[in-house]
A and B are shown apart, each in its own frame.
Chain A
Amino acid sequence: MEGLTSVCKKSFSKSIVVKELAKNNGKVSFEVERGEIFGVIGPDGAGKTTLFRVLTTLLLPDSGEAKVEGYDIVKDYREIRKIVGYMPGRFSLYQDLTVEENLRIFATLFNTTIEENYHLIKDIYCHLEPFKKRKAGALSGGMKQKLALSCALIHKPEVLFLDEPTTGIDPVSRKELWEMLGRLKREGITIVVSTPYMDEASLCDRIALMQDGKFLMCDTPRAIIDSFDKNLFSVKGENMGVLLEGLRGADGVLSCFAFGDSLHITTEKDNVIFQSVTADSLKTYLEKTGLEGVEVTKTEPSVEDCFMELLSK
């Protein structure tokens, strides 16, 4: 019975609860469910690393409070350190020790062995096994990342904090890392991950869009996209430079930015004067200004569109 209550208690309580937490500038409040992938998305300087360092008990907050797995980040810092895994943005393993020695140190520090939790890191570490006698400093960027993640996982943490694990990593390796995070989530580990790449947002259960120490929005990627309150059109044409200039001056166009091989423009959704802006009317307008072969389609926003819209407010 006691076992049952503790299971129930666990499944109902939050993994992380943050209330009015402030450090330097800004203030954030949010909760992370147990077993969720929570993404903190924002550019350099937004405050992502500071937030991670406060939650992992490496920095004291200026004010506010936060609990990780029920432990207070100030009073219970010793307990928190036992149950979280933290992978900092900057490679901070021992460069002069081998791959295997680094992993063994982390296991020993947390009073466990590589063998005991090998199943957790197997998928990642198997790529490194052929190089286990190599010094960590001599690994390629992608492999350093895999070793750092293995070291952060070897004590079977309940919550894993990954600070920009994909920065400077090529698109293929990025995809692989996200697949690994998916597997760890299935093991029941709560994952808090930060990234400057907006396209990774859709891989999280919930995301916070962060800028200047504040959350601009915090919800599921779907809900954030659904809250986009403008009409969005995608425009393609021969000369994108001319098209960009032409559209920026057009009546009813609020913003116009390059998006890969097309331009994204926003228009007012419920405006008496401009409500008649449609894909066809935009196309006609552009043709009148002498631009031919233009393709205009109404399109659904991405999280990146939402972030840009929030920044303009």
Chain B
Amino acid sequence: MRVIEVENLTKRFGSFTAVDNISFSVERGEIFGFLGANGAGKTTAMKMLCGLLRPTSGKGVVAGFDINRDSEKIKAAIGYMSQKFALYEDLKVWENIRLYAGIYGVPEKEATERSHRLLEELGLEKERESLVKSLPLGWRQKLAFSVSIFHRPSIVFLDEPTGGVDPVTRRQFWEMIYKAAAGGITIFVTTHYMDEAEYCNRVSIMVDGRIEALDSPALLKKEFGAVNMDDVFRKLARRSNNGLL
């Protein structure tokens, strides 16, 4: 079953083509890495997939809904987390969970039950009443991810989820991603850490608005005769014409 399927997706701003005719699909339970240099068009493409931006042309289905016609339904059906913004720091741990549960329409009784289990799993029972800003960054990160999939979406979009996180927490975070994917949640993730690209089932690399490569890390390395994903990335980024690098 496909959770994302897009065809010839394009977005232009005036004379500038930010996303240029991209087509790809993502399977259920897959960890899909979405890479590209700054300015390659990743954010614009992600916004269209999340129902936040209307495409100039092309079509697509995300979580069973049409990105041109049902963008509101997409927003309710997906999860989203970014490093820049994830939780309300001035709210308590339980208040954040409660707020997200409410926004995504999780019934109250269900929400109470799930939130107990969530705090237990994260070992955060004692921090229930703590303000999020008082938690160490690593805990906040794990809580943010758990909250983003609290309503059990079929897919979660993670926008640079591990930026600035310490190396141990970064790895523990990926172990959480694996667990969620094994439970059937599709993961769509962007990152600037090339070692993390290795943890994805498949990786796409955007250059100047187009998807220039899409395959498993092992096959990409083979195709480009590269020792690691960093090397693949560099070889591809050199194809860029915009000279902004």
Indicate if the CB atoms of A173 and B38 lie closer than 8 Å.
Answer: yes
Q: What sequence of 0s and 1s flags, for each residue 155-179 of chain A, a beta carbon within 8 Å of any chain B beta carbon?
A: 0000000000001111111011000
Is A64 an interface residue, CB under 8 A from the partner?
no
Is A43 an interface residue, CB under 8 A from the partner?
yes
Nearest-Cβ distance from residue A259 to partner chain B, whole angstroms = 7
Q: How many chain B residues touch the partner (CB < 8 A)?
A: 37
Q: What sequence of 0s and 1s flags, for each residue 39-71 of chain A, a beta carbon within 8 Å of any chain B beta carbon?
A: 000111110000000000000000000000000
Indicate if the CB atoms of B37 and A43 lie closer than 8 Å.
Answer: no
Q: How many chain A residues touch the partner (CB < 8 A)?
A: 35
Indicate if the CB atoms of A168 and B163 lie closer than 8 Å.
Answer: yes
Q: Which residues of B contact A197 (CB under 8 A)?
A: 193
A244 CA to B244 CA, complexed, in Å:
40
Shortest Cβ distance from A304 into B: residue: B167
B209-231 residues with Cβ-Cβ distance < 8 A to A are 217-218, 228-230
Indicate if the CB atoms of B230 and A171 lie closer than 8 Å.
Answer: yes
Indicate if the CB atoms of A141 and B167 lie closer than 8 Å.
Answer: no
Shortest Cβ distance from A141 into B: residue: B38
Is A312 an interface residue, CB under 8 A from the partner?
yes
Shortest Cβ distance from B171 into A: residue: A257
Is B234 an interface residue, CB under 8 A from the partner?
yes
Shortest Cβ distance from A262 into B: residue: B198
Q: With A171-B230, A261-B217, A261-B228 in contact, is A198–B167 under 8 Å at CB?
A: yes
Indicate if the CB atoms of A140 and B39 lie closer than 8 Å.
Answer: yes
Q: Indicate which residue in A44, A175, A307, A311 contacts B164 across the interface (CB closer than 8 Å).
A: A44
Q: Which residues of A contact B199 (CB under 8 A)?
A: 258
Indicate if the CB atoms of A172 and B233 lie closer than 8 Å.
Answer: yes
Q: Indicate which residue in A171, A244, A258, A307 contacts B233 across the interface (CB closer than 8 Å).
A: A171
Indicate if the CB atoms of B198 and A261 lie closer than 8 Å.
Answer: yes
Q: Which residues of A contact B243 (CB under 8 A)?
A: 127
Q: Indicate which residue in B160, B194, B217 contacts A171 across the interface (CB closer than 8 Å).
A: B194
Indicate if the CB atoms of B244 and A307 lie closer than 8 Å.
Answer: no
Shortest Cβ distance from A145 into B: residue: B38
Indicate if the CB atoms of A308 and B168 lie closer than 8 Å.
Answer: yes
Indicate if the CB atoms of B168 and A167 lie closer than 8 Å.
Answer: no
Is A143 an interface residue, CB under 8 A from the partner?
yes
Is A196 an interface residue, CB under 8 A from the partner?
yes
Nearest-Cβ distance from residue B187 to partner chain A, whole angstroms = 14
Q: Indicate which residue in B136, B164, B166, B198 contacts A260 across the interface (CB closer than 8 Å).
A: B198
B166-183 residues with Cβ-Cβ distance < 8 A to A are 166-169, 171, 174-175, 178, 182
Q: Which residues of A contact B36 (CB under 8 A)?
A: 170
Indicate if the CB atoms of B169 and A43 lie closer than 8 Å.
Answer: yes
From DSSP, what is the main secondary structure of chain A's interface residues?
mixed
Q: Which residues of B contact A211 (CB under 8 A)?
A: 166
Is A142 an interface residue, CB under 8 A from the partner?
yes
A241 CA to B201 CA, complexed, in Å:
12
A257 CA to B199 CA, complexed, in Å:
12
Indicate if the CB atoms of A176 and B245 lie closer than 8 Å.
Answer: yes
Indicate if the CB atoms of A167 and B37 lie closer than 8 Å.
Answer: no
Is B192 an interface residue, CB under 8 A from the partner?
yes
Q: Which residues of B contact A259 (CB under 8 A)?
A: 195
A136 CA to B169 CA, complexed, in Å:
35
A206-240 residues with Cβ-Cβ distance < 8 A to B are 211
Indicate if the CB atoms of B178 and A241 lie closer than 8 Å.
Answer: yes
Shortest Cβ distance from B36 into A: residue: A170
Q: With A171-B234, A172-B234, A260-B195 in contact, is A45–B171 under 8 Å at CB?
A: no
Indicate if the CB atoms of A142 and B39 lie closer than 8 Å.
Answer: yes
Indicate if the CB atoms of B160 and A168 lie closer than 8 Å.
Answer: yes
Indicate if the CB atoms of A173 and B245 lie closer than 8 Å.
Answer: yes
Q: Indicate which residue in A140, A142, A241, A312 contacts B168 across the interface (CB closer than 8 Å).
A: A312
Indicate if the CB atoms of B38 and A170 lie closer than 8 Å.
Answer: yes
A308 CA to B163 CA, complexed, in Å:
17
Q: Indicate which residue in A167, A170, A261, A312 contacts B237 across the interface (CB closer than 8 Å).
A: A170
Q: With A142-B244, A259-B195 in contact, is A307–B167 under 8 Å at CB?
A: yes
Indicate if the CB atoms of A308 and B167 lie closer than 8 Å.
Answer: yes
User: Residues of A with Cβ closer than 8 Å to B?
Assistant: 42-46, 127, 140-143, 167-173, 175-176, 196-198, 211, 241, 244, 257-261, 304, 307-308, 311-312
User: Residues of B with Cβ closer than 8 Å to A?
Assistant: 36-39, 136-137, 160, 163-169, 171, 174-175, 178, 182, 192-195, 198-199, 217-218, 228-230, 233-234, 237-238, 243-245
Sample (5) of A-B pairs whose CB atoms are under 8 Å apart: A170-B233, A175-B234, A176-B245, A261-B217, A261-B228
